[in-house]
Structure formats: C-alpha cells, structure tokens
Structure 1
Amino acid sequence: MLNLKQARILNRNAWMLMLLCSAFYSCDKTASTSDDYEGNWARSSDFEGVARTEAVTFTIDNYAYVGTGYKGSDTRLKDFWQFDASTGTWKQKADLPGVERNSAVAFTIGEKGYVGTGYDGVNKLKDFYEYDAANNIWTQKTDFGGTARYDAIGFSVNNEGYIATGFDDNYLKDNWQYNPSADTWTQKASLGGYKRKGAVVFVIDDLAYVCTGINNGDNINDFWVYNGNADEWTEKRKISDANSDEDYDDDYNIVRDNAVAFVMNGKGYVTCGQQSGTISTTWEYTPSTDLWVQRTSFEGTARIGAVAFTLNNVGYVATGNNSTYQFDDCWSFNPTEDQSDDDN
C-alpha cells in the first residue's frame, strides 16, 4: 500500500504527464494544419540532369536553360539543359566551357544567355561566357570586371547585363555593367545598404529589385531598386517588421538567404532559402504599393540553392538541396489558384 507521500508523488507525476501530452497534441495539431494563403504549387516535369544545387538559369524565347551546380561528394558540374514548358520536356545542350562550378550567375540579353563567376571547389572565378541558343554554341567573352567571386546576383535591364554583390573573401556590394556589343565591363553605382551574398534579384519594367542575403552571419532586411538609366539605387520598405508606427509589416518575415525569385503578372515572388533553418515560405511583392503579401508556401521539400525562372508568365522552381540531399524536381506556381487538396 502506498503511503501519503508516495501517493502525492504519483498524482503529481500523472498530472505532469497529462499536461505534456496535452501540449504535444496541441503543437502537433498546429504543425499539421496547412496554411490558408492563396496560390497553388504543382509538380512539373522533373529536371532531367543529375540532381544538383546552386545551379544557374536563364531564359531565351519560350525556353529555360539550367546548368552547372554542385551534386555532392565534392563534385561540380557544367552541363546545360533546355526546358520546354509547353511539352514538359528537357533536352541536353552544349556544356559550359571552362571548369565545373557552382554558385555562379546568369542572365539574358536579347537572344543570348550569359554565365559567369562561381566557385570550382578551390578557386573563386571571374570567367564569363555567352550562349547562342540558335546554334547551341558557347563563346568565351571578356572576364568579369570585378573580383573573382561566388554567390553574387546577375540581371539585365535595358539590354545591359549586371553582376553585383557576392563574396570574394569579403562581403561585397559593388555593381558592374556588361555591354554585349563592346564586350566590356564598367563599374556602376554600388548597391546601397549592406554588403551581402546569397541575395535575390527580380526585374519588373526594367527596374531591378534586390533583397535578402546574408552579411557576417546575419540575414539582412533592406530592400533596394536599381534604375539602370539613372545608375541610381532607391531604398524601399524593409522586408521585416521594422516599422513600429505602422501595421503593414506586422507579419513580415521575408528575410533569408540562398532563396530564389521570379516574376509573374508584374509582381515579384521570393520563396525557399534559409533563416535559422531551411524554409519554404513564399511572398509576393507589388511595386506600385511597395507591399508584400504572403502566399502558399512552396509545396516541395524546403530547400536552398534552387533555381527559378518564368516561362509564359508562369513561375517555376527547380533543383536545390536540403542538408546533404540534392533535388531534381521542378514545380510551377499559380498565385490565384487555391491550394489543391492532394498537394503535399
């Protein structure tokens, strides 16, 4: 028979166990509830090359091109693949010249794609190449004008290419313009605000919007737009809850690095990346209001180092990694469609 002290201990332990079970059930129920944000992700045709992360992409006409990257086991790649969204098919194209690499940049000017910088496992790179899709030919061009680097951003506006930010053993914020007809590089106005690597850029109406990234271990919250005609950067509203006098940003939690961005219907989208862990939240930006709205989280496995592109006004996210796992899946996003009941 239990004495009074033993009975009290038993009752106390039972009560604590009941509280723990109740808390676990509550947390589990909350975690398993899908979000109610607008937008739907759908599995598209898997990337046909080997699974990889930190690849690059550019689009020409109605095709996307994806190549380079890291496939694990200290192995880097330089193969390239063309994606036709209308048929869901991938075709292998000519390999990028030069060394295999990851964390490079790419952009399109007219009917040509451009790839440069990156990391080969030993060296930071600054070589630069032009791709002629009509003839499936790569041509080496003048080396990038800045320092050799990786984790930079690349974009094009007004038929000029740009490479900015990145890491060369120092976090960077410089900005270099490429003239394709002269094959020359010119340093332009540096990004305002913080230096960074692992940022994203998206272009709407010939203005380049740059945000996210990391600097000295911290995800940064400033947001800038670049006007190439004026060679001028303008700061936009922060991408975190930074304004205590207003409530528009109360739910903002957009900061991250190694994310991806794409454009649909004149709006910018940022998804995936890492922020104290790998995340899959998706945010939509409207330039006319300078405001962000959260949309349905990316429905594949959360990841970093993916690629994103837009074809026929549809955004796609492909490849990437989560921990030691590299991916070869590809997903499309419809911002106005409800989340499918059978989506993961």
Structure 2
Amino acid sequence: MEGGNQSGVSEFILLGLSDQPEQQRLLFFLFLLMYLITDLGNLLIILVIKTSPCLHTPMYFFLSNLSLVDICFTSTTIPKMLANHVSGNKGISYAECITQVFFFIWFAGIDSILLTAMAYDRYVAICAPLHYSMIMTPKVCALLLVVSWFWAYGIALIHTVLLTQLSFCDHNKIPHFFCDLSPLLKLACSDTFINDLMVNTVGSLTIILPFIGILISYTRIFVTVMRIPSTVGKWKAFSTCGSHLTVVSLFYGTIIGVYFSPTSNHTAQQDTVAAVMYTVVTPMLNPFIYSLRNKDMKGALRMILIRKPGQSL
C-alpha cells in the first residue's frame, strides 16, 4: 500500500474529535462502548442467522454478510483511534494511513452494494413473488456477493493508487479521527484534479448509482404496495422494508453529504460528525434496527436464548 510516496511526510497527525483532555476521555469510553456493541451485535446477527434454518433465505444471507462487513468496517478506524488515545500519540504512519484509506473505501463500497442487493431482493419478493425462488437463487445471491467484494476492491485500489501520487509537503495534520480520503485531498499541496474527478465519477459507481438503484426499487415497491386493497396487507409489505430503509437513510444520507456535496457548504467539523454517523453509529444501530423491527429475527433470537443445552434448533 505504500506505492510511490511523492511527499516528504512520513507520518500524519490525527487531531481527533476534540483537543480537550476531559472530552477526549469521555469520547474514548464512548467509542470503546460503541465498538464493542457493534461487534457483539453484528456477531449475534450472524450467529442467529447461521443457526436458524428459517432464516436461510436470500434476505438474511445478505444481512449476515452486511453484519460481517460492518465489523470489518468499524475495525478499520476505531481500534487505531482508541490505541492512539491510550498511548497518547496521535500519529499514524504514511503507510498505515494509506492502508486505512484503502480498507475504509473497500468496506464502505461493499456495504453500499450489499444494501442495493437487499433492496433488489425486497423488490423481487414484493413485486414478483411468484418468480422469487427462480430469480433469487443461491447462485445469484453468491454472484451478487462476489461482485460487491471485487467491484469495491477495484474502486478502493484506484483511489489509493491515485492518493499515493500526491505530495503533502509539511501539511500532515488531519482534522479527523482516521485517515479519510476527503481531508487528505484537502491537505495535499499538489494538484488533486484527477483525484476529485475520480471521487465524482468512479466513486459515483459505488455510492450514487447503488443509491439510485435503491430509490428505483422502492419506488416500484411503493407503487405495487399501494395497489394492495387490504390495509393489513399494505402494512405487512411496508414493514418488511422499514428496517432496510432506515439503514439506507442513515448510511447514504451522511456519506453523500460528505463526499458529493459542494465543499463550501460544510466545514471540517461537520464532515467529522457525519463520518461518525456512517462509520460508527450506523454499523452499531444495524443489529438493533434489523432485530427489533423484524418478527423473524426476534423469534429466532428468542429460540436461541431459551434453548436448553444440547437441544438442537
């Protein structure tokens, strides 16, 4: 990941979320708690889906993989921030910073595509229920998963290679709690035209296009559901999409605001707050959103909790 370092900078300084010692201690424990909740919650989602035969469906296949990616996503940024706080050192080496950017973009891209696959799954289930089993076959689900990993990998590699071609001179203080692409581009003392162009073109293939795909899927779902004569039927159809729509709103709303809105419209502090939302808060809330709003998940979780030792599901 080192690539061709064009700068004399060997280390970046992560300024974090606050320079006040008391606030830093509070943020440390808060982020540690959120990280533990994220990992335990998503691991529980994976365990419940794996051990419950009734959840071995395409929707929960994508959900279990989303939980796995969320664990990897948060592990890319939070542990380094916590380690820096414990050591009292805010530095991160150039190689570590570039590596962090790569994995951050990679896992964010997978998240984006998986959310789109889940929207498509809901579209087929509601708009073409008679053909659902023929369309959402195990091979199709596996193909969508493989495409999400390799597509996002290619996008992350492009951004990372282009980033290594930039010069940073003596500017090495990042007003953030991790190495994010946006503040790094602002720090560069060389021309970032190509990098910015890639964010708005290649980046769109991973964020904007999937988001548009989700909007189209849910527009079709809405039209189909509104044709259902029964109010109970409408509510049941919408309830299966509610959890996913909540996660989509949290994830895309903040990430699009940071990367695809004019930089003059927001400050570095606003970018950092938005980044906390999609890197920490959303992955932490996902298990609660999907389990508390989902009857099947709650039933499967209840079966695991009350199951006697040695009893099979």
TM tier relative to shorter chain: under 0.3
Q: Structure with the greater relative contact order (CA < 8 A, sep ≥ 6): 1 or 2?
A: 2
With the length of structure 1 as denominator, give the TM-score of the two structures.
0.23
Which is helix-richer, 1 or 2?
2
Which is strand-richer, 1 or 2?
1
With the length of structure 2 as denominator, give the TM-score of the two structures.
0.25
**Looking at CA atoms only, which structure, 1 or 2, has the larger radius of gyration?**
1
